[in-house]
Amino acid sequence: MSKLVSIIVPCYNQAHFLNESLNSVLKQSYSNWECIIINDGSTDNTEQTVLNWTKKDNRFKYVKQQNKGLSNARNSGIKTSLGDYILPLDADDIIREDFLDKTVPELLENDDLAIISCNSKFFEGDITNIINELKPKGNTYHYLLYVNQLVATSLYRKKCWEQVGGYDEQMKTGFEDWEFWIAITKQGWEYKVVDDFLFYYRKAKKSMLVDTINNHFESNKEYIFKKHNDLYIDDFDNCMTVLFHQLKTYRASETKMKKSLEYKVGKLITKPFKLLKTIFKK
């Protein structure tokens, strides 16, 4: 039995990566798919790039909208989708040619599974330049509470998206996929990780993930904790252990930094300026 898979590709000013991503879709050995590309208000040549693909193969479909963020773009694409299964794919990432062949049967054979993920390779520039690998663990929400085990490009049932109301569109600065996986699995669903490297994540100097980690990590994590506070209250003792461990780690890092030669030299250099600032204030 073959199920239609809807591959959802939001794109915001990433036309320079889009061809490589969509080519990995076209090469899928599993042929029963549609690929919906959402132009989320791009100002580059995303539209022309997508239209070239829609002419090449009618399984590629195009949705254009004003810039509303990643969660909204994914939701918009899924709303127009026809498949029973959904696979999000960012415009700069790549899936191996047997990704669907390896993941679709898992959902077909087990009604308790909501999400099928896999091992991932992180690359810079060219797909042959692998800089890191990720092997997710677990199968229930317990494994997702403090670390997002699952990459955004994981196959899942569309009815699960409907059940939780889609991606949270208030989360405009990242971690929306992490919250989404928690929302699904807290309903009693399980996930499974295929022990194979089927997904390639492009590591860029400037990306939404980099911006999230550098500028929004704490606020986004706080949002998830508060939204799903019932889970963290049930796991209170472990939650406190994790949070205080992170606090101790941060404090140790800060102490080490203050003891460093660079910090002490910097403090000496800036001391005269601080004195001048105090004088001028008076």
| pLDDT, one tens digit for every residue, the chain (282 residues) | 689 999 999 999 999 999 999 999 999 999 999 999 999 999 999 999 999 999 999 999 999 999 999 999 999 999 999 999 999 999 999 999 999 999 999 999 999 999 999 999 999 998 999 999 999 999 999 999 999 999 999 999 999 999 999 999 999 999 999 999 999 999 999 999 999 999 999 987 555 555 655 677 889 999 999 999 999 999 999 898 988 877 777 776 666 666 666 655 556 666 665 666 666 665
Pair 223, 92 in one domain: yes
Pair 87, 120 in one domain: yes
Pair 262, 139 in one domain: no
pLDDT at 216: 76
Pair 186, 262 in one domain: no
In 80-134, alpha helices (H): 99-109
Pair 200, 240 in one domain: no
Query: How many of the other CB atoms lie within 10 Å of CB of 274?
Result: 10
Pair 104, 188 in one domain: yes
pLDDT at 245: 78
149: its two tokens: 């085990």
Pair 102, 9 in one domain: yes
Pair 182, 272 in one domain: no
pLDDT at 274: 61
H-helix or E-strand spanning residue 190: strand 190-202
What phi and psi values does residue 220 have, to the nearest 5 degrees?
Answer: -70, -40
- CATH number of 78's domain: 3.90.550.10
Which structural domain, as residue segments, surrounds residue 67?
A: 5-228
Pair 95, 180 in one domain: yes
How many domains, the chain?
2
Pair 184, 260 in one domain: no
pLDDT at 69: 95
Pair 129, 203 in one domain: yes
Pair 257, 142 in one domain: no
Greatest CA span in the chain, whole angstroms?
80
Kindly report the pTM of this predicted structure. Answer: 0.86
Q: Tell me which of 211, 228, 245 is where a domain ends.
A: 228
Instruction: State the Cα–Cα distance between residues 272 and 279, nearest whole angstrom.
Output: 11
